Amino acid sequence: MEFLVASAIGVLTAAGLYLVLRLRTFPVILGMSLLTYAVNVFLFASGRLTIGAAPVLRDGVEVYTDPLPQALVLTAIVISFGMTAVVVMIALGAFLGSDDDYVDDPGEDAKEAEGQP
């Protein structure tokens, strides 16, 4: 089970980094979302991966799951949703203002070198 979760975290991180390095805004937003999912799964897995364990330590319970990573993941989900909404609105405003969604806008020197005004 640990190998499966670790592999999922690795795949999410690799795909997220690949998409973040793209030149368009929509893949960058998807990449950021995948990276936040990878961090959430990592935080959730840090609280022990056990099935049917008690969430808190009580008398007579030897195997338990730490509730703190679960609370952190719930908080991170809300924050990442808000962050994604803000970034989508910024990207939409940039797209509507410049009629393209490229991340790196060529500077004035590049435009002058091509002969554009």
Question: Structural domains in the chain?
Answer: 2-114 (1.10.287)
Residue bearing the bigger pLDDT, 87 or 69 = 87
Mean pLDDT value across residues 86-115: 75
Q: pTM of the prediction?
A: 0.75
Positive/negative CA dihedral, 83, 86, 87, 88: positive
Residues 28-86: pLDDT tens digits? 999 999 999 999 999 888 877 777 777 677 777 777 777 788 888 999 999 999 999 99
Over residues 107-115, mean pLDDT: 59
Cβ 25 vs Cβ 101: under 8 Å: yes
Q: Please say whether the dihedral angle defined by the alpha carbons of residues 101, 106, 111 and 117, taken in this order, is positive or negative.
A: positive
Measured distance CA(112)–CA(76) in Å, rounded: 45
Nearest to 54 by CA among 38, 40, 70: 70
- Per-residue tokens: 62: 């030897």
